[in-house]
A = this chain, B = another copy of it.
């Protein structure tokens, strides 16, 4: 049994907890929290919740620690820090800072002889893998990534900061006609506006100026001004009833040419349609936690990404079983 520790018990941590039940070679060994452990109620019975301050004392009870904090402030500090004591895995998703995060985790993990796997999930994660495979297989071609339809937490937060907004949810939506052009192998050059639209469901404060709210959202730099945005005003009740989920998904498409003067076109497409963004991310994290455990058992140390890991390491099955049933 692979003993899994969870650090940070929010949507992602709870998703990992549920996902462990679907993997019979794994067990939840402990949850670590920055809150008062007595205040954290987890789903699994008879599993301890510890303060993160006491993590070092429990290092021998954990095979892989899954870091479920945020990329902005938590993971840049936590992943290198805990790689000194544990095999760790995170879903660090600030693309621009991945190289420096890798260096920090690699240094810590090599010194401790542990494995650290970073940026696991679906983007970065499975989508990265698909982009890489597409480029490797069709060197002459074009890449497209579309996101959605799904909830963007960052954009929802931005809308909630607008004056007169009480609550809000923002969906990122791929433009179907752009997707179709890409699928046809047209290799179009697409602007930001041509790839995605944004749809906001806004609960206004009483007496708020709705026209002003809509204007403030649609003209917000970086977040909305480069997109065609639709704003719907709804009640708090409607928001709760119709928009409480955290769905997401997207498409990675590689189109390329082969043969005599590029005579033949090919389109590779990978897509995800996810009811729960954090639960799916949790499931990917857990598969790669198995890989971290195996790599560590083989004496490997240092930082790894999805590009470095042989796919078979994600599976419970032996090489024989995989070859007989999945190849």
Contacts and interface: CB of A to CB of B under 8 A. Distances in A.
B307 A327 contact: yes
A313 to B, nearest CB: 9
A258 B275 CA distance: 9
A260 B310 contact: no
Contact of A315 (B98, B135, B267, B290): B135
A15 interface: yes
Nearest to A258: B279
A170 interface: no
B266 A136 contact: no
Interface in A233-279: 258-260, 263-276, 279
Contacts of A263: 275-276
Nearest to A184: B273
Nearest to A245: B264
Contacts of A19: 258
A183 interface: yes
Given A132-B326, A320-B99, A266 B258 contact: no
B275 A266 contact: yes
Interface string A75-112: 00000000000000000000100110010000000000
Interface residues of A, number: 68
B320 A312 contact: no
A319 interface: yes
A22 B131 CA distance: 17
Interface stretch (A27-35, A208-216, A281-289): A281-289
A162 interface: no
B267 A269 contact: no
Contacts of A138: 283
A284 B314 CA distance: 22
B119 A327 contact: yes
A279 B264 contact: yes
Contact of A258 (B43, B126, B132, B282): B282
A315 to B, nearest CB: 5
A288 to B, nearest CB: 9
A252 to B, nearest CB: 10
A41 interface: no
Interface string A186-225: 0000000000000000000000000000000000000000
Interface string A153-182: 000000000000000000000000000000
19 contacts: A15-B258, A22-B139, A98-B324, A102-B323, A126-B133, A131-B326, A132-B311, A132-B315, A135-B315, A137-B280, A259-B276, A259-B279, A266-B276, A269-B270, A269-B273, A270-B271, A306-B311, A306-B327, A310-B310
